[in-house]
């Protein structure tokens, strides 16, 4: 199944899309990678979903990526005697360590790390920012704050602290249990929520030991401030605009999205743009014009993947949402302005053999109008460097490692094929020609360009570039 677009689509599974028939429909409509949200899925459901995706993968004969999204530390207020209380702008309200039910003056905050970390002047945002307060007095056991905006507070609403650097790791005890379970289930990507600092990645990397790639979700201002360090330690990033828009001014989010996308492109790390992309399609069969524009901006920007959340997980039109996102992406990539925008953001290659070969392959393929770039990649690095160039011609990533092919299904422009390792150089070129022919990327007489590392099976040794003709039987015609 060949996609007619370079950007990838990441679809979240949920109550509306858990059975195998529906997952198959979502894949056929355009979903390349499936997200399992561990905030809502228990281990049994997660394993069932993984099994269903793998069953579909075997049926369609294409690698499909699976991303498990860990919940991360959820900070919530306690409960109230009446369930909720009204508040007035300007009044004071206290968060403390007293477990007694809350009232109109105070509520329990069951997170001592917040009580000791918040300083006067720090903001406290409750219920996705619907209630905003500013701390005026703190003593390590309570926070006295003044209401800045909002009219009520109720049981167990979430707390966001955009001005406070909390002494919390990104992994909770629940996350550790979930991480062990998803690694045993052999998911391809693990998404880490509420990253604040590069050190937050250390524990998950130690546990994962390379069994899954690590995607860092950027949803806090502290992470934006240390973006370069987090990119360096991550395998991919996600612009998680929901929480980012709560913790930072909404008007700043579009600019931050561009900063993150471009920084990831420079580094050659995949980047996903997520949250509310087609939000109205949860209940409507068509999106708003603004949502179409939002999706198109991410595609024009060169993001590797665009994501559906509730639209595919719990919406009334999951297949239509994936189809619409696919249609928007296809149309954008056909737009005459698209190549120019993509080219304008291209970064200079790093001083490595792999980057030099990838640059040369793109330039030759575009100059000679070749049918495809075929890259051999065991670890995935060569495929990532080829995609970093954002060539106008298709990229076929051949790998003998199915786990690598699944991970690369998140990456811009890569058509991933699992194939046995080549026995020698001639076999490698023949195999590249046969697969390009069989997958519909070239016809007899067309030319492709092949990149690989010699000697074969040497990780990170990309040093070969070769032009080959596709013969009448699909093999190398030279």
What are the pLDDT digits (tens) for 322-352?
999 999 999 999 999 999 999 998 888 888 8
- The pairing of strands 106-108 and 123-126 is unpaired
Same domain for 174 and 258, yes or no, is yes
Same domain for 138 and 231, yes or no, is no
Same domain for 148 and 191, yes or no, is no
Residue 305: per-residue pLDDT: 98
Same domain for 129 and 22, yes or no, is no
Residue 344 lies in a domain: no
Residue 347 lies in a domain: no
Same domain for 67 and 128, yes or no, is no
Q: What is the pLDDT of residues 300-313, one digit of tens each?
A: 999 999 999 999 99
Q: What is the rounded (10 degree) CA torsion for 311, 313, 314, 318? A: 50
Residue 348 lies in a domain: no
Task: Indicate the pTM of the whole model.
Answer: 0.93
Q: 69: Cβ–Cβ under 8 A, 6 or more apart, which residues?
A: 35, 36, 37, 38, 39, 191, 193, 217
- The pairing of strands 8-13 and 305-308 is parallel
Mean pLDDT over 404-431 rounds to 93
Q: Is 275 a catalytic residue?
A: yes
385: CATH:
3.40.1380.20
Same domain for 403 and 427, yes or no, is yes
d(CA 226, CA 232): 10
pLDDT band, very low/low/confident/very high, at 157 (cuts 50, 70, 90): very high
CB atoms within 10 A of CB 68: 26
Which of 302, 336, 370 corresponds to the end of one domain? 336
Residue 354: per-residue pLDDT: 81
Q: Is 217 a catalytic residue?
A: yes
Same domain for 193 and 291, yes or no, is yes
117: CATH:
2.40.33.10
Q: What is the pLDDT of residues 177-215, one digit of tens each?
A: 999 999 999 999 999 999 999 999 999 999 999 999 999
Mean pLDDT over 429-437 rounds to 94
Q: Is 54 a catalytic residue?
A: no
- The pairing of strands 92-96 and 142-149 is antiparallel
Same domain for 173 and 261, yes or no, is yes
DSSP string, 334-360: HSTTHHHHHHHTPPPPPSSHHHHHHHH
Q: What is the rounded (10 degree) CA torsion for 17, 19, 23, 28? A: -120
Same domain for 319 and 407, yes or no, is no
Question: Of 76, 130, 211, 226, which is the active-site residue?
Answer: 76
Which of 160, 184, 216 corresponds to the end of one domain? 160
Residue 384 lies in a domain: yes
Residue 66: per-residue pLDDT: 98
φ, ψ dihedrals at 142, nearest 5°: -155, 160
Same domain for 114 and 211, yes or no, is no
Look at the chain and report how many structural domains it folds into: 3
Q: 297: Cβ–Cβ under 8 A, 6 or more apart, which residues?
A: 254
Assess contact for 191 and 219: CB atoms under 8 A: no
Mean pLDDT over 223-249 rounds to 95
Assess contact for 262 and 341: CB atoms under 8 A: no
Least confident of 262-271, 314-323, 451-460, 467-476: 451-460
Which of 287, 307, 336 corresponds to the end of one domain? 336
DSSP letter at 282 equals G
Is a pLDDT exceeding 80 seen at residue 477? Answer: no
**Which residue carries 């949200």 as its tokens?**
37
Domain carrying residue 301? 8-73+169-336
Question: Of 106, 217, 220, 362, which is the active-site residue?
Answer: 217
Mean pLDDT over 108-112 rounds to 95
pLDDT band, very low/low/confident/very high, at 458 (cuts 50, 70, 90): low
Percent of residues, the chain, with pLDDT higher than 70: 98
Residue 402 lies in a domain: yes
Residue 398: per-residue pLDDT: 95
pLDDT band, very low/low/confident/very high, at 454 (cuts 50, 70, 90): confident
Is a pLDDT exceeding 70 seen at residue 460? Answer: no
308: CATH:
3.20.20.60
Residue 477 lies in a domain: no
Residue 342 lies in a domain: no
Percent of residues, the chain, with pLDDT higher than 90: 87
Mean pLDDT over 456-471 rounds to 80
Residue 393 lies in a domain: yes
- The pairing of strands 123-126 and 131-138 is antiparallel
Q: 51: Cβ–Cβ under 8 A, 6 or more apart, which residues?
A: none
Q: Is 211 a catalytic residue?
A: no
Assess contact for 236 and 230: CB atoms under 8 A: no
Same domain for 207 and 249, yes or no, is yes
Q: What is the pLDDT of residues 284-298, one digit of tens each?
A: 999 999 999 999 999
pLDDT band, very low/low/confident/very high, at 159 (cuts 50, 70, 90): very high
Beta-bridged to residue 107, according to DSSP, are 95
Same domain for 173 and 155, yes or no, is no
Question: Of 3, 35, 220, 388, which is the active-site residue?
Answer: 35
Q: Which two tokens stand for residue 310?
A: 């509730």
Question: Of 12, 275, 451, 475, which is the active-site residue?
Answer: 275
């Amino acid at each position: 199944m060949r996609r007619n677009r370079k950007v990838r689509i990441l679809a979240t599974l949920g109550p509306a899309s858990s059975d195998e028939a529906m997952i198959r429909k979502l894949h056929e409509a355009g979903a390349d990678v499936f997200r399992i949200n561990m905030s809502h899925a228990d281990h049994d459901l997660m394993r069932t979903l993984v099994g269903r995706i793998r069953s579909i993968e075997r049926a369609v004969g294409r690698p499909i990526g699976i991303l498990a999204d860990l919940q991360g530390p959820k900070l919530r207020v306690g409960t109230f005697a009446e369930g909720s209380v009204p508040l007035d702008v300007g009044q004071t309200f206290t968060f403390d360590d007293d477990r007694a039910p809350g009232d109109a003056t105070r509520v329990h905050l069951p997170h001592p790390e917040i009580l000791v970390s918040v300083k006067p002047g720090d903001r406290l945002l409750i219920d996705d920012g619907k209630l905003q307060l500013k701390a005026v007095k703190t003593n390590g056991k309570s926070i006295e704050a003044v209401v800045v905006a909002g009219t009520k507070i109720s049981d167990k609403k979430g707390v966001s602290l955009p001005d406070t650097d909390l002494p919390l790791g990104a992994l909770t005890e629940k996350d550790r249990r979930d991480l062990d379970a998803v690694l045993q289930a052999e998911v391809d990507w693990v998404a880490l929520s509420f990253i604040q600092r590069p050190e937050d990645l250390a524990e998950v990397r130690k546990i994962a030991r390379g069994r899954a790639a690590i995607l860092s979700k950027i949803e806090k201002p502290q992470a934006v401030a240390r973006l370069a360090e987090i990119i360096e330690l991550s395998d991919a990033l996600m612009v998680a605009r929901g929480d980012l828009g709560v913790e930072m001014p909404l008007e700043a989010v579009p600019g931050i999205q561009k900063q993150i996308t471009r920084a990831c492109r420079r580094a050659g790390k995949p980047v996903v743009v997520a949250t509310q992309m087609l939000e109205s399609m949860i209940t409507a069969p068509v999106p708003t014009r603004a949502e179409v524009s939002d999706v198109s901006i991410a595609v024009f920007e060169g993001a590797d993947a665009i994501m559906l959340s509730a639209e595919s997980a719990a919406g009334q039109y999951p297949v239509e949402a994936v189809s619409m996102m696919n249609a928007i992406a296809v149309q954008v990539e056909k737009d005459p302005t698209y190549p120019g925008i993509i080219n304008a953001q291209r970064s200079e290659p790093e001083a490595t053999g792999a980057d030099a070969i990838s640059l040369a392959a793109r330039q030759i393929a575009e100059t000679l109008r070749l049918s495809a770039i075929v890259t051999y990649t065991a670890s995935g690095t060569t495929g990532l460097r080829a995609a970093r160039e954002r060539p106008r011609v298709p990229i076929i990533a051949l790998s003998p490692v199915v786990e690598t092919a699944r991970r690369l299904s998140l990456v811009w422009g890569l058509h991933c094929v699992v194939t046995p390792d080549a026995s020698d150089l001639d076999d490698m070129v023949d195999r590249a020609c046969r697969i390009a022919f069989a997958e519909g990327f070239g016809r007899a007489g067309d030319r492709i360009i092949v990149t690989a590392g010699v000697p074969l099976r040497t990780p990170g040794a990309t040093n070969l570039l070769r032009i080959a003709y596709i013969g009448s039987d699909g093999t190398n015609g030279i």
